[in-house]
Chains A and B, each alone.
Chain A
Amino acid sequence: MGSRFAIPIENGQRLRLLVVLAFVLSLWTFLRYETETSHQIVASVGERVVHLPEDAKAWHLSVFTGDDYKTTLDDRELLAAIETDEICRSLKAQTHYHHYTRGSLMYRSKWTAAIPETPTILLQDGTGKVVYKASRQAVPTSPRALGDQLAAAIDAYRTGRPFADGAFNSDKLIGDKIIGGKISTELKGQCGPGPCPRPQPNLGPFQPGPYQPPTNGIPNVTGRQPRLIDGFRGLWPSLDLGDSRSSTLVVALVIGGLVLFFTRTR
């Protein structure tokens, strides 16, 4: 029996198995990532809508950035979060999505009082009721945290319970300012009669995408796929493993543990 479990030979087999597993794992994650990020939007031309979309109750997800959002870090991060986080992407697909820049006509005409700061993310139900809003420093620290907060806000909306689970902590509201008066969609005096001056668009030619009607009601954003590091969540509750620094720490600990295991004194 002793020779059956001879360490060098068994270790060799174990190591070869680990090599295979490591490669399979790497290949799987690589292919999975590539598959998720390689969706291409195919432009359709002159699409006549035969079946009119019944999206009267669809929600609205709006992102407000500066005009130079392509070079401003905060703006790029928020836009990237919308495009990359699982929940954010799902929410975007199920809602009317709007991206306003400070120079856009609609922002200057309607949103300057309600959204004076950028970047801002705003989620509204079909009637305009605010489900979630975060601006500048209040925007969550990571795409995953943003997705989780949006999901929590939708859950609070759906269940009708008070925002007592941390997703809407009143402490987080301190420091912001209240703008008086009512929102007016009327002329604010920025543009006189005739077309308003505006920066030249730099977004390239207009390319409509295939029509995907939004969800007509509360979006369903549940079902985030667990990540590898999510398995550690229960072990250290105070550690936010959705945070990149924390997940880096976990990876380092795992690697360190493996090194200690394989280099231990025999």
Chain B
Amino acid sequence: MQRFELKPRPNQANRTTLLILALVAVALLSLHYQQANRDGCDGGVCPAPIRSQPGPDVRTLERRLQDNADSPPMDLPRSLREQNWGGGSCVHASTVMCLRWQGLEDVAAMWRRTYSGGESLSGLLAKLERNGLRYAYTGRDPAFLEWASRTRRGAVIFYFPNHSICFAGYSADGRTAILLDNNRIGQFLSVPKDEFVRSWQGYGGVAVTPVYSPEPPAPYLDQLWESLISRL
């Protein structure tokens, strides 16, 4: 008897069915749109509409197979090189160039506006700290320069008497140091590696660099792409 009291009347069953259907529909739609949000919406950014002709394209790329090996690891474009200013801001000019190379254009602009004049290692490190930057430095270790070259980050170094420049890395054959002097930004300087390391240590062996993502190498297409495009 008690069991049959639980039996709903037909109308009640229909209402319950509809209620359950609505809940299931809400659950499924919730699942669906949360997935859509995760795919395409975040913070008010709307999902991607359907566009025609999906797929990669490469025909606007230049073909550059060997050039990267011939370029300095820190191959800062000419227009991003910073000339020494104020008669003695070589440390800051070098820092600005390293910041630009590692994608911190806004920080570099701030640095250019804010700082000038002579600078010491401790002063440079204090400014990096003050601005919340991630950095690394060394006091005489050539392995640091090897790392800065290998990871294409470059570094601010103390080089030449009472001067600071950018270390742009070693050449592909590892026998030449490539330097970027903020007093001569028109071209890179090449110094035999042994001579460079010896001189650098003689000038104090200071090297400092921000630790962010270096600029990508110039894009190039491999042989397969070349043959593919040449057939089109």
**CB–CB B47/A208 < 8 A:** no
CB-nearest residue of chain B relative to A55? B151
**CB–CB B132/A44 < 8 A:** yes
Contacts of A206 in B (CB 8 A): 104, 106-107, 110, 131-132
- Tell me, yes or no, whether A217 is within 8 Å of chain B by CB: no
CB-nearest residue of chain B relative to A8? B7
List 22 A–B pairs whose Cβ atoms lie within 8 Å, in order of A's numbering: A18-B23, A25-B31, A29-B31, A53-B211, A54-B147, A62-B216, A73-B49, A84-B41, A97-B213, A108-B79, A129-B221, A129-B222, A133-B57, A170-B231, A181-B62, A183-B67, A185-B78, A201-B106, A203-B106, A206-B132, A228-B31, A228-B35
**CB–CB B24/A258 < 8 A:** yes
- Tell me, yes or no, whether B92 is within 8 Å of chain A by CB: no
- Tell me, yes or no, whether A239 is within 8 Å of chain B by CB: no
CB-based A-B contact count at 8 angstroms: 334
Min CB gap B96→A, angstroms: 9
Provide the B89-118 mask, 1 if CB < 8 A to any CB of A, else 0.
Answer: 000000000001001111101101000000
**CB–CB A129/B220 < 8 A:** yes
**CB–CB A183/B219 < 8 A:** yes
**CB–CB A182/B67 < 8 A:** yes
- Tell me, yes or no, whether A158 is within 8 Å of chain B by CB: no
Contacts of A19 in B (CB 8 A): 20, 23
Interface size class of B (residues with CB under 8 A): 35 or more
**Given A55-B151, A127-B217, 6 new contacts (CB under 8 A):** A80-B40, A98-B103, A137-B53, A141-B48, A176-B58, A187-B79
Min CB gap A62→B, angstroms: 6
- Tell me, yes or no, whether A45 is within 8 Å of chain B by CB: yes
**CB–CB A185/B77 < 8 A:** yes
Min CB gap A133→B, angstroms: 5
Contacts of B129 in A (CB 8 A): 45-46
**CB–CB B56/A243 < 8 A:** no
Other-chain residue from B31, B59, B150, B228 in contact with A26 (beta carbon distance below 8 A) = B31
- Tell me, yes or no, whether B28 is within 8 Å of chain A by CB: yes
**CB–CB B68/A127 < 8 A:** yes
- Interface set, chain B 116-144, CB cutoff 8 A to A: 128-136, 144
Contacts of B59 in A (CB 8 A): 173, 176-178
Query: A residues near B, CB below 8 A?
Result: 6, 8-9, 11-12, 15, 18-19, 22-23, 25-26, 29-30, 33, 36-37, 43-50, 52-56, 60, 62, 73, 76-81, 83-85, 96-98, 104-106, 108-110, 113-117, 122, 124, 126-130, 132-135, 137-145, 149, 153, 162-163, 167-170, 172-179, 181-183, 185-188, 190-191, 193-196, 198, 201, 203, 206-208, 211, 214, 227-229, 243-245, 247-248, 251, 254-255, 258-259, 262-263
**CB–CB A135/B37 < 8 A:** no
**CB–CB B58/A130 < 8 A:** yes
Bound Cα distance A195, B52 (Å): 41
- Tell me, yes or no, whether B25 is within 8 Å of chain A by CB: yes
**CB–CB B60/A185 < 8 A:** no
